[in-house]
Structure 1
């Protein structure tokens, strides 16, 4: 077999899928590495990752209380709304921002440890899942303070959260490969995500737009895909009615995103080790 044959064989969907399945099969490795990331980051800290919980909770309470006063919104409704918005946003934000640096940050392991590339992405998503579990405690506390009626339909947040995790994987893969090849992508994504934060209904809602006479912005906001990801998790936890269009958009984007991720893995998986 010639070098050309070997190179062409590495650029197949079979190899791309094998990388993803082999990486997932090494769950003991990425589970351990993800947990070690948390421990190392908060080494010798008394509260550990709960510092992020405190920071997220403080921001959510401050912004929720401020906006409820400014726009005369019910605090019992708006505070849980804002809190869940921040918690889910942190998960999405990490998939984009940290995902764009996932391979560059693991340069040493990629060059020295013969493991599938997907291991580093699973490690990132697992780490963010741990932080999400810490942050959701904030909502539990607020739900106790401002109780609501629960129903079995509210459990739909579980498959919604699993769907977001699945999307975090392909987002990290795509942006990780792209930003490894073109290093200007990471800072560009930082600016774009910051803009999307203000365009996503996290600290404001439809009632806020109506009060400001900005209903025409609703159409523009609908074009923001992050809004749909946010809603499928937040709506059931708030006991709000779920809209089918949000699930349709997320499912369509999931299929398209994974198609792009598989294509990127097929074409450029073997080059990442040279780019880092």
Structure 2
């Protein structure tokens, strides 16, 4: 909790990370947004045709799902290097190690806010007005961010000890993308919906996506997401508390 309270440190470092990454770039982090927009439009046209869906139904679904997926996957992939990537700072600055996790999470949230422009444009283009229901996406997003902190603490600590974890997770995340309802809808599974129903990433995406598309979040998705968050946080914080003193020696 002491690391979380040092918001002026990790907040500034995270913001500087974004500025440094796109230094001397004209449009900065919006390059990520443009790349993601091209990806969404290309897949939307292709898969929308394959699934026989209209662009007005499929593209907003794909857009919101992809943007949230990028945030979730980033928490895991960049979380793996949360400590190893901050080796110099950890060995030279006497500060809680967790600030490097919060720094990484804040950096990804800033990039997510840039990518959210795509969602706003797509919803506006297809005249989708979620109304007051859309504000339910805010607590859903907060749950996603809390899980992001837990993912980063766990995989960051594990990766500090075992350097095979980052490439392993990169391959696993790539596979999870195709088995998570981002490109396709749960209804396409028919009697095999259990593949999605037991996928925590589906529920974490759905509690943000459903309100923005004007739908309602099922009680099952809320329950699953909250239970997964509790378990995820309990495991991650216990693991980090047990091994955090070894991290400076491992890196």
In which range does the TM-score fall when normalised by the shorter chain? over 0.9
Shift of 1:221: 2.4
**Cα distance change on mapping 1:35 and 1:222 into 2, 3 Å:** same
Deviations 1:217-274 (A, max 9, x none): 3212222211110100000000122101111111111111111122112210100000
Deviations 1:149-192 (A, max 9, x none): 43322211001101111110011000100111111111111111
Alignment correspondent of 1:160: 140
2:81 partner SS = helix
Displacement over 4 Å in runs of 4+: none
Work out the CA distance in 1 between the residues paired with 2:191 and 2:165.
32
Whether the 8 Å CA contact 2:71–2:108 is kept in 1: the answer is: yes
Shift of 1:198: 0.1
Work out the CA distance in 1 between the residues paired with 2:98 and 2:47.
41
1:226 to 181, 196, 201: 201
More displaced stretch, 146-155 vs 55-64: 146-155
Mapped pair 1:106 → 2:86: yes
Alignment correspondent of 2:225: 250
RMSD: 1.1
Alignment correspondent of 2:213: 238
> Normalising by structure 1, what TM-score?
0.88
Work out the CA distance in 2 between the residues paired with 1:246 and 1:194.
23
**Cα distance change on mapping 1:40 and 1:149 into 2, 3 Å:** closer
Shift of 1:102: 0.7
Which structure is larger by alpha-carbon Rg, 1 or 2?
1
2:20 partner SS = helix
Alignment correspondent of 1:30: 10
Alignment correspondent of 1:186: 166
Alignment correspondent of 2:34: 54
Work out the CA distance in 2 between the residues paired with 1:149 and 1:57.
20
Alignment correspondent of 1:137: 117
Alignment correspondent of 1:260: 235
Alignment correspondent of 2:185: 205
Work out the CA distance in 2 between the residues paired with 1:141 and 1:153.
18
Structure 1: stretches of 5+ with no match in the other structure: 1-20
Shift of 1:41: 0.6
1:82 to 48, 62, 72: 62
**Cα distance change on mapping 1:101 and 1:71 into 2, 3 Å:** same
More displaced stretch, 21-30 vs 118-127: 21-30
Alignment correspondent of 1:4: none
Structure 2: stretches of 5+ with no match in the other structure: none
2:80 partner SS = helix
